[in-house]
């Protein structure tokens, strides 16, 4: 297939040669006439040597690279990339007895920039973050159900909020293939209702799976507070781990009822759980010091853009200080940031400031990140977004 060409300025090919998957608009020397948003283009260096093909987009990231060097994206390209992604998940044992909820495609980490696919049993939920992936959606959906052994029969496309608004693509959230066939997915033997139609992102945060398992290990006999509970993932693990009591809090009433439904699904009639719809800061101000000796803070991304970093760091400090000052001696705090714009050093500094402000003696037990089905391309450190600390508070 012939592609239109984007030529880079001299010296701007270095990062692509090192497999970084983005071309920034400032690196571009010229664009063939007629190139439109979402087109697949060939990128060449100043001397015309091929650097790979990618999806063109208007904005600061101008091309998201799909291949390197001479390679094009002919027939079967998405089948091959999805097959690689699936083989990797199988090789590392992410999909196993008791777990059928996992991330199959993590954008750049699976050499498919702009594409996210989460799988819940027979249903794949697909999100396009670039016009190029939006245009390829039907081909990708077909490749998903054709993936040998993966057992995917429904593909739900959910990109109404992820595509650039200005591109005016007007995507409709809907099934591209198949239809609704149940909403219960399994994670480490626990069951969860996943609401991809109305829920946030693809309906469930599979990225906290390993961290929820760690929480289970620390829960025995503890009074657990799960702040920002959403679907109640951490709460259900804490109950299985033998918590004395679990309180789940979320400002969204819908999240609170989803949490209650998920607790009921796994532990029918268990009186160790209650859930409250309230703002996190307000709830924390109202508790009595000593009420909870295991606290989870997993807020939404406080910094969605670089411009919001300073305020976000203040927010993390304030939130963590509020929790720390009310935790008894020997408590454990699981604290997270999923803001991609914030580095793990910045987050740690915000938590350090909270510790210093409250005068508590705090030690780091674990440093957490995203699980193996959210791989980070080593040449693209921007793909690392989830950061967490488990702290011992005295």
Rounded to 10 degrees, the C-alpha dihedral 177/96/187/195 comes to 0
Given 15, 84, 173, 252, the residue binding ligand SAH (CB under 6 A) = 252
Q: Is 300 in the site for ligand SAH (CB under 6 A)?
A: yes
Q: Is 338 an active-site residue? A: yes
Size of the site for ligand SAH (CB under 6 A): 17
**Cβ at position 355, least distance to ligand SAH in Å:** 22
Who contacts 9 (Cβ-Cβ below 8 Å, separation ≥6)?
Answer: 27, 28, 29, 46
- Residue 133 or 185 having the CB closest to ligand SAH: 185
Strand order in the sheet with 40-44: 22-24, 61-65, 50-56, 40-44, 4-8, 28-31
The stretch near ligand SAH (CB under 6 A) out of 54-62, 189-197, 227-235, 376-384 is 227-235
Strands 331-337 and 294-297: parallel
Q: Is 337 in the site for ligand SAH (CB under 6 A)?
A: no
Tokens 């980070």 found at: 376
Per-position x/- string for 259-288, each x denoting binding to ligand SAH as judged by CB under 6 A, each - no binding? --------------------xx--------
Given 13, 187, 293, 298, the residue binding ligand SAH (CB under 6 A) = 298
CA pair distance 29, 297, nearest whole angstrom? 46
Q: Is 230 in the site for ligand SAH (CB under 6 A)?
A: yes
Given 77, 205, 292, 347, the residue binding ligand SAH (CB under 6 A) = 205
Nearest to 65 by CA among 20, 26, 35, 3: 20
Q: Is 251 in the site for ligand SAH (CB under 6 A)?
A: yes
3-class DSSP state for residue 137?
Answer: helix
Nearest to 372 by CA among 95, 123, 126, 165: 95
Q: Is 157 in the site for ligand SAH (CB under 6 A)?
A: no
Name the residues annotated as catalytic. 338
Could you list the residues that contact ligand SAH (CB under 6 A)? 205, 208, 228-231, 233-234, 250-252, 255, 279-280, 298-300
């Amino acid at each position: 297939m012939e592609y239109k060409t984007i030529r880079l300025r001299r010296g701007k090919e270095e990062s692509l040669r090192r497999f970084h998957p983005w071309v920034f608009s400032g690196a571009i020397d010229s664009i063939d006439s007629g190139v439109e948003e979402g087109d697949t283009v060939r990128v060449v260096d100043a001397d015309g040597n091929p650097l790979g093909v990618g999806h063109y987009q208007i904005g600061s990231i101008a091309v998201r690279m799909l291949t390197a060097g001479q390679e094009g994206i002919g027939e079967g390209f998405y089948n091959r990339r999805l097959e690689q992604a699936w083989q990797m998940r199988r090789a590392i044992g992410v999909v196993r007895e008791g777990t059928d909820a996992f991330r199959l495609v993590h954008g750049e980490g699976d050499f498919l920039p702009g594409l996210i696919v989460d799988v819940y049993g027979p249903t794949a939920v697909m999100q396009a973050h670039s016009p190029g992936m939006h245009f390829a959606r039907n081909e990708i959906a077909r490749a998903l159900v054709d993936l040998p052994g993966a057992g995917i029969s429904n593909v739900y496309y959910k990109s109404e909020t992820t595509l650039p608004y200005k591109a005016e693509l007007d995507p409709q959230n809907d099934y591209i293939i198949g239809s609704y066939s149940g909403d219960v997915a399994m994670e480490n033997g626990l069951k969860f209702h996943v609401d991809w139609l109305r829920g946030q992102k693809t309906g469930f945060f599979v990225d906290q799976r390993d961290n929820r398992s760690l929480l289970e290990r620390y829960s025995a006999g503890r009074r657990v507070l799960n702040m920002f509970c959403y679907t109640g993932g951490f709460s259900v693990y804490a109950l299985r781990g033998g918590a004395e009591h679990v309180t789940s809090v979320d400002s969204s009433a819908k999240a609170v009822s989803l949490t209650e439904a998920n607790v009921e699904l796994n532990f029918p009639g268990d009186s160790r759980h209650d859930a409250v719809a309230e703002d996190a800061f307000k709830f924390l101000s109202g508790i009595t010091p000593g009420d909870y000796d295991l606290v989870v803070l997993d807020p939404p991304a406080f910094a969605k853009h670089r411009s919001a970093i300073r305020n976000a760091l203040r927010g993390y400090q304030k939130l963590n200080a509020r929790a720390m000052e009310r935790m008894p001696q020997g408590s454990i705090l699981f604290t997270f940031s999923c803001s991609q714009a914030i580095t793990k050093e910045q987050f740690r500094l915000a938590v350090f400031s909270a510790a210093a402000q409250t005068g508590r003696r705090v030690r780091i037990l674990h440093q957490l990140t995203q699980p193996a089905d959210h791989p980070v391309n080593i040449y693209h450190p921007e793909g690392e977004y989830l950061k967490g600390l488990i702290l011992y508070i005295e």
